[in-house]
Amino acid sequence: MKSDYDYVIVGGGLAGASAVEGIRERDAAGSILLIGEEVHLPYDRPPLSKKLWFGKKNVEDIFLHDRAFYDTHGVALALGAAASRLDPAAKRITLAGGATYGYGKLLLATGCKPRHLDIPGGDLDGICYFRDLDDYLHTRGKAAEGKSAVVVGGGFIGSELAAALNINKLDVTMIFPGELLCDRVLPDYLGRAVQQRYQEKGVRILASDKPVSFGNNGNQFVTRTWKGETIASDIVIVGVGVVPDLELARSGGLEVGNGIVVNEYLETSSPDIYAAGDNAFFPYRVLGQAMRIEHWDHALIQGRWAGRNMAGAHEPYTHLPYFFSDLFEFGYEATGEVDSRLETFADWQKENETGVIYYLRDGKVRGVMMCNVWDKVETARELIRKDETVSPEKLRGLIR
Ligand code: NAD
């Protein structure tokens, strides 16, 4: 392996792998090193809590490219390797094992790590803070029909995995501190309807509660909750949010806050170093505010964008990412500021099932959630980009 590369990408997730494509769009020959902490080739994360559980995809299908792609495109891979130190003055990066590499341009696509619960037994062996392919493989191996699972957290991971495990005929108990699941994105009435569906499907819901300890009775995990419940289960999955991985950026003295701070060209505070994906705190042009976004489409497009800019494009990031979820029969695609604290206007074709929810601020559409309405993300983006005051009645029938 060489010791100096034109481009070094730290992070073998979607943003890192997309950056390879972005670089190659503009530079066919520059040498590239991709460093990834996981031993796997870069893969898509959404199927880990969705399609892989429903027989709609196999594990082999989730990889973005096979090894031959990286060979063909002249990309050296250092997988199962954690970068531990960054020296911007010397333009070198050091791996935990001691190897060091020089870079011309560097991308930090280090993503996020799951937040751990600071409670007794919080790091008990076998408790799964669900995030990556190994977590899926571990859980899948234990998730036989008739087994039981405690799912902690009522956000994206909790709601998707509780549905997936119930569909796979496990006995599922969800625990989360809010009154309703997915309360960050769903308006109350919709959260209530979705939650009722979970209960009708047989998911036990312990809302307004949280675990205070995890233990083990020899055969099973034992979860105790703040309200005094004790639940024995074969599996415990935790999805209580993620935190950006900033250690490397900090070691190099880069500006960090709620993420690695980048400008609209995705450049960090240090020359020739870029950041993209879950860990980048960037100016979200369309919404007019700086943000960090933890979704698939954002990592995909921003990673590619950073790659192009590293290879000389110098284009401001203007993408308006979307995200999607599957909660039993209720599926949606959404874009923009989908925040349940905003005023909302719902245009239902079938109440709480099929229709569109508009999220409004000062009379302007900031976000759109399309519930069981598909392939309309571009129309929603145009509406948000218009940035015009609109009366809710004018929105009726706009997206069908
Ligand atoms: P999240 O922020 O969506 O949800 C966190 C949940 O944990 C919330 O329900 C919160 O109330 C709960 N919680 C917080 N403290 C708790 C405690 N002490 N006990 C019990 N519950 C507690 O985060 P997540 O579900 O962990 O997802 C992680 C990341 O993965 C997110 O960035 C998300 O965007 C991403 N993701 C996205 C999708 C999608 O877009 N469809 C799917 C899966 C994961």
What ipTM was estimated for this complex?
0.97
Residues 6+ away with beta carbon under 8 Å from 72: none
Tell me, using a 6 A CB cutoff, whether residue 160 lines ligand 1: yes
* Rama region for 253: left / alpha / beta (φ>0; ψ in -120 to 50; rest): left
**Domain-embedded: residue 317:** no
Ligand 1 nearest atom to the CA of residue 156, by list position: 25
How far does the centroid of ligand 1 lie from the alpha carbon of residue 244, in Å?
A: 14
> How far does Cα 285 stand from its chain's mean position?
20
Please state the rounded mean pLDDT for residues 301-314.
98
Pocket test residue of 181, 224, 240 for ligand 1, highest count of atoms within 8 A of CB:
240
Residue 88 tokens read as 């911007």
Tell me, using a 6 A CB cutoff, whether residue 152 lines ligand 1: yes
Please state the rounded mean pLDDT for residues 343-349.
97
Instruction: Say how far apart CA 217 and CA 211 lie, in whole Å.
Output: 16
Instruction: Return the pLDDT at 126.
Output: 96
Tell me, using a 6 A CB cutoff, whether residue 357 lines ligand 1: no
Q: Please count the CA atoms within 13 angstroms of the CA of 8 that sit on its side-chain side.
A: 26
How far does the centroid of ligand 1 lie from the alpha carbon of residue 202, in Å?
A: 21
Domain identity same for 228 and 269:
no
Domain identity same for 282 and 357:
no
- Degrees (nearest 5) of the Cα angle 289, 290, 293? 115
> Which residue's structure tokens are 């460093």?
35
pLDDT tens-digit map of 20-31: 999 999 999 999
Instruction: Say how far apart CA 41 and CA 79 lie, in whole Å.
Output: 8
Please tell me the residue having the least CA distance from ligand 1 atom 23: 241
How far does the centroid of ligand 1 lie from the alpha carbon of residue 130, in Å?
A: 10
pLDDT tens-digit map of 101-159: 999 999 999 999 999 999 999 999 999 999 999 999 999 999 999 999 999 999 999 99
Confidence of residue 330 (pLDDT cuts 50, 70, 90): very high
How far does the centroid of ligand 1 lie from the alpha carbon of residue 378, in Å?
A: 26
Residue 284 tokens read as 């979200």
Tell me, using a 6 A CB cutoff, whether residue 203 lines ligand 1: no
Please state the rounded mean pLDDT for residues 157-169.
98
Residue 215 tokens read as 């233990």
**Domain-embedded: residue 118:** no
**What is the span of the domain harbouring residue 163?**
128-238
How far does the centroid of ligand 1 lie from the alpha carbon of residue 33, in Å?
A: 32
Q: How many CB atoms lie within 10 A of CB 258?
A: 13
> What letter does residue 46 receive in the DSSP assignment?
G
Domains identified in the chain, total number: 3
Domain identity same for 57 and 157:
no
Residues 6+ away with beta carbon under 8 Å from 14: 42, 44, 45, 64, 277, 296, 299, 300, 303
3-state secondary structure of 22: helix
Tell me, using a 6 A CB cutoff, whether residue 155 lines ligand 1: yes
Taking the model in full, what pTM does it have? 0.97
Instruction: Return the pLDDT at 42.
Output: 98
Ligand 1 nearest atom to the CA of residue 158, by list position: 25
Tell me, using a 6 A CB cutoff, whether residue 239 lines ligand 1: yes
Domain identity same for 107 and 251:
yes
Confidence of residue 1 (pLDDT cuts 50, 70, 90): confident
Residue 277 sits in a domain whose CATH number is 3.50.50.60
Q: Please count the CA atoms within 13 angstroms of the CA of 169 that sit on its side-chain side.
A: 3
> Which residue's structure tokens are 């976000």?
367
Q: Which of 193, 215, 238 is the last residue of a domain?
A: 238
pLDDT tens-digit map of 56-110: 999 999 999 999 999 999 999 999 999 999 999 999 999 999 999 999 999 999 9
Ligand 1 nearest atom to the CA of residue 211, by list position: 19
Please state the rounded mean pLDDT for residues 362-372.
97
**Domain-embedded: residue 121:** no
Domain identity same for 228 and 272:
no
Instruction: Return the pLDDT at 285.
Output: 87
How far the first Cα of the chain sits from its last, in Å, is 54
Per-chain mean pLDDT for the chain: 97
Residue 333 tokens read as 């695609």
